[in-house]
């Protein structure tokens, strides 16, 4: 084979190699961009899930618990509550990449504890409904002195059952308050992580109004 025949072969080989190399680089760039988009989408989904859980608890606290918060007999005043709860949950398996940022494992743990607090609080709300209904239907065991304002006898309740109900309702107040405190930290840390991982993107922002207006439960 003469040199004039060899040169086109080399040129063709170089061209093919360059073309495949360029195709690989383009595909790798596309893959990385798709991965970045997926991760960013997962961060936003987590923000939405935590935000919706927190909003449900905040509504519960302000509309249901706060009106009787400072009353010593609040466990006797609360009415049974039927409240819809969000089914949104954080997909932690899709968020392991958060560990790449500083204190990433701590952020994931904070988010996990916040969501567990939501589950605990909403479970307590569901259980409180049956306990309060039981108090309303069969809690009184005797009639006490007549209340002249209503011209009727005052119901006397089993002291043990009332103490158990009071303890449960006190725990309900604490669980909701503690869960909301956890959400404040979790949402703040998740937003910070999102900003560090994607500084050019604007993360979803949930307003965190002052929740310190309430008294301790």
From 209, 165, 170, 166, select the one nearest 187 (Cα to Cα): 209
77-111 pLDDT, tens digit per residue, is: 999 988 888 889 999 999 999 988 889 999 999 99
From 77, 95, 1, 79, select the one nearest 39 (Cα to Cα): 95
- As a whole number of angstroms, the distance between CA 186 and CA 107 comes to 7
For residue 46, pLDDT beyond 70: yes
Identify the sign of the CA torsion 156, 157, 160, 165.
negative
Q: Which of 22-26, 86-90, 208-212 has the lowest mean pLDDT?
A: 208-212
Are residues 200 and 186 in contact, defined by beta-carbon separation less than 8 angstroms?
no
**Burial classification of residue 122, based on how many CB atoms lie within 10 Å of its CB (0-12 exposed, 13-18 middle, 19 or more buried):** buried
For residue 50, pLDDT beyond 70: yes
For residue 44, pLDDT beyond 60: yes
Are residues 58 and 211 in contact, defined by beta-carbon separation less than 8 angstroms?
yes
59-69 pLDDT, tens digit per residue, is: 999 999 999 99
Express as a percent the part of the chain with pLDDT over 70: 70
What are the residues whose beta carbons fall under 8 Å from the beta carbon of 102, sequence distance 6 or more?
196
Identify the sign of the CA torsion 110, 111, 116, 121.
positive
For residue 166, pLDDT beyond 70: yes
pTM for this entry: 0.73
Give me the residues paired with residue 143 across strands.
Answer: 155
């Amino acid at each position: 084979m003469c040199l004039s025949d060899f040169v086109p072969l080399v040129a063709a080989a170089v061209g093919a190699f360059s073309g495949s190399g360029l195709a690989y680089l383009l595909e790798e760039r596309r893959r990385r961009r798709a991965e970045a988009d997926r991760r960013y989408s997962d961060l936003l989904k987590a923000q939405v899930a935590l935000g919706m859980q927190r909003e449900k608890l905040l509504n519960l606290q302000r509309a249901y618990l706060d009106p009787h918060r400072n009353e010593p007999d609040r466990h006797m005043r609360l009415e049974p509550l039927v409240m819809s709860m969000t089914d949104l949950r954080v997909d932690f398996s899709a968020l392991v990449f958060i560990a790449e940022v500083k204190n990433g494992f701590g952020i994931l743990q904070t988010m996990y504890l916040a969501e567990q607090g939501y589950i605990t609080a909403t479970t307590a709300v569901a259980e409180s409904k049956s306990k309060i209904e039981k108090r309303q239907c069969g809690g009184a065991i005797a009639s006490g002195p007549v209340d002249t304002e209503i011209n009727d006898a005052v119901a006397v309740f089993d002291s043990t059952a009332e103490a158990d109900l009071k303890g449960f309702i006190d725990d309900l107040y604490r669980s909701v308050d503690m869960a909301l405190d956890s959400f404040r930290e979790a949402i703040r840390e998740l937003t910070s992580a999102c900003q560090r991982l994607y500084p050019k993107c604007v993360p979803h922002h949930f307003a965190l109004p002052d929740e310190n207006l309430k008294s301790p439960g």
